[in-house]
Chain A
Amino acid sequence: MNPFRAIGAGLLALLRSAGAVALFAGQALAALVRPPYFGGQLVQQIFKIGFLSLPVVGLTALFTGAALALNIYTGGSRFNAESFVPNIVAMGIVRELGPVIAALMLAGRVSSGIAAEIGAMRATEQIDALHTLATDPMRYLIAPRVLAGVLVLPILVATADIIGIYGGYLVSVHTLDFNPTIYVRNTWDFLSDWDIISGLIKAAVFGFILTLMGCYHGYYAQGGAQGVGRAATNAVVAAAVLIFAANFLLTSLFV
């Protein structure tokens, strides 16, 4: 095959996919603002996406904060800058690692789960059944999941921020002999409101991305059990890549 033709075909396929995702996102957003609203579904999704993700997000944040403190201490000691450990741990966690790590963990847990669940519903004609029961799947299935992701991620990330900073504190105070009072004061004094807010804005965007990818790949799953598996894998990969891309764009805007 002509290489230019192959590149062109690949590019067209990419544009088609991007267009389809954009269209799906538009439909999901439209479903969010038009009644009927399915409050029960929203509460259920907030519980599943938010509450049930707390342990994995908390543990990841704790170890990330702890490892970050050790690394900054090692690097900082090369030019007598060990005292900056609390400041850099706090900023690194709140602005970058908290939102990104939490979103990536949720991409693995939530995007794949949503894609598998909705994909299985597609395979067993449950989505067609919704249509025949005069219920719009976009409003019943998609909108509550996407809204739950947008609402819950900032709360999860705020929790991850606190736990991550605490992980850094534990290592710094108990292993690196930092004074606990000074550590807390340095952390608190160094962080600005914008550091925290920008991290939470990122979290909301990541929540939208990871739930949307789960819904999109599940909704268009084809080919039975194999198709459902493929949808789950594609959802995680797409969500992870888009989270990194969005993180770069948002960081560029926020610096």
Chain B
Amino acid sequence: MTERVKIAWKNVTVGFDGRKPVLKGLNLEAHEGRSLVVIGGSGTGKSVTLKTALGLIRPQSGSVEIDGEAVRPGHENDPGVAQIGMLFQSGALFDSLPVWKNVAFRLLHAEHVSEDEARTRALEALDQVDLDAHVADQRPGSLSGGMLKRAALARAIVARPKILFFDEPTTGLDPVTADVINKLIVRQVKNLGATAVSITHDMVSMRHIADDVAMIKDGQTLWRGSLDGVESCAHDEVCRFVRGESSED
């Protein structure tokens, strides 16, 4: 059975201030209901790939399509923004707001849900990521790294998005907390039936959350296949990268 393409990067080129392009005609697809993990060395364009789909960066050429409709950066009716949830590497919670208002931000300001209902749904989302209700009224600055990531995950899922993006979800966390976050991600993606795109350097995390894996090198897709393909060493360079072996070995 052929899965429907949810997100498609079509010949995407991105460069900054006349420097060498970061993405050079990137082609990549994320299939509906599956979890795609993008791996690759530092500076290969993984974050930029994600940001083009979020409408945060405008490609110089090519396009990113969600459900066949082009993402329009900075446009109010961007097809992507209406259905996405995003977990940033740093959490990116708003310091000036208590945790529950961070979680309910989209409900309050974009969907204009009443404050009572927004709080109820925020508390439900916090519960789904195993955070106690007492965290709701704390400021993000008082949370630990793991709690911060969970609160940010609650914010990403509260509006029940159809697409979830994860930017280095386990970076900076101890192995046990990282395992908790990985399990939460898998559970939430499954609960929502969402399409997920993650970028990570953490190969343990990749094995936990990926259905499909793509490796980006020099601004292009080097290889794309299933997690099984990675495990069975379907591509030599991908295999070495996953094992953490440099080319000089």
Chain A residues with a Cβ under 8 A of chain B: 36, 38, 121, 124-126, 128-129, 131-136, 140
B89 interface residue (CB < 8 Å to A):
yes
Q: Does B203 contact A (CB under 8 A)?
A: no
Contact A126–B92 (Cβ < 8 Å): yes
B18 to chain A, nearest CB (A): 13
| Among candidates A38, A128, A136, A140, residue contacting B92 with C-beta atoms closer than 8 Å | A128
A sample of 12 inter-chain contacts (CB < 8 A) reads A124-B90, A126-B92, A128-B54, A129-B88, A132-B81, A132-B84, A132-B85, A132-B86, A133-B109, A134-B81, A134-B110, A135-B110
Query: Which residue from chain A places its CB closest to the CB of B86 in the assembled complex?
Result: A132
- A128-B54, A128-B56 known; A133 and B90 CB under 8 Å? no
Inter-chain contacts of B56 with A (CB < 8 A): 128, 131-132
B166 at the interface (CB under 8 A from A): no
Top 7 nearest A-B pairs (CB, nearest first) are A134-B110, A129-B92, A125-B92, A132-B86, A133-B106, A125-B88, A134-B81
Cβ-neighbour of A131 out of B55, B85, B109, B155 (below 8 A) = B55
Chain B residue nearest to A38 (CB atoms) is B109
In the complex, what residues of B have CB within 8 A of residue A132's CB?
54, 56, 81, 84-86, 165
Q: Is B76 an interface residue (CB 8 A)?
A: yes
4 further A-B contacts with Cβ under 8 Å, apart from A131-B55, A131-B81, are A128-B51, A128-B54, A129-B92, A132-B81
Nearest A-chain residue to B112, judged by Cβ: A36
Contacts of B100 in A (CB 8 A): none
The closest CB in chain A to the CB of B88 belongs to A125
* A126 contacts B94, C-beta separation under 8 Å: yes
Nearest to A125 among chain B residues (CB) is B92
List, in ascending order, chain A residues with CB within 8 A of B9's CB.
none
- With the chains together, A128 CA to B47 CA distance in Å? 12
- The CA-CA distance from A135 to B92 in the complex, in Å, is 14
B82 interfacial contact with A, CB 8 Å: yes
Binding site for A on B (CB under 8 A): 51, 54-56, 76, 81-82, 84-86, 88-90, 92-95, 105-106, 109-110, 112, 155, 165
Contacts of A135 in B (CB 8 A): 105-106, 109-110
- Residues of B with C-beta under 8 A to A133: 105-106, 109-110, 155
Q: Which residue of A lies closest to B167 (CB)?
A: A125
- Chain A minimum-CB-distance residue to B83: A134
Contact call B89/A134, Cβ cutoff below 8 A: no
Residue of A125, A129, A133, A140 with highest tally of chain B CB at under 10 A: A133
Taken together as a complex, chains A and B put the C-alpha atoms of A17 and B89 apart, in Å, by 31
A202 to B90 alpha-carbon distance, docked (Å): 42
Determine whether the beta carbon of B82 is less than 8 Å from that of A131. no
Cα separation A125 to B90 with both chains bound (whole Å): 8
Please tell me if the beta carbons of B81 and A129 are within 8 angstroms of each other in the complex: no
| Most chain B CB atoms below 10 A, which of A38, A131, A132, A134 | A132
Name which of B81, B89, B109, B110 has the most chain A CB atoms within 10 A of its CB. B109
A125–B84 touching, CB < 8 Å: no
Nearest-neighbor residue (CB-CB) of A132 within chain B: B86
Contact of B54 with A36 in the complex, beta carbons under 8 Å: no
Q: What separation, in Å, do the CA atoms of A135 and B95 have in the docked complex? A: 17
Chain A residues positioned under 8 Å from B51 (CB to CB): 128
Chain A nearest CB from B113 CB (Å) reads: 13
Contact of A140 among B76, B90, B109 (CB under 8 A): B109
Cβ contact within 8 Å between B54 and A131: yes
Name the distance in Å between A138's Cβ and chain B's nearest Cβ.
Answer: 10
State whether B92 touches A134 (Cβ < 8 A): no
> Is A129 a contact partner of B106 (Cβ separation < 8 A)?
no
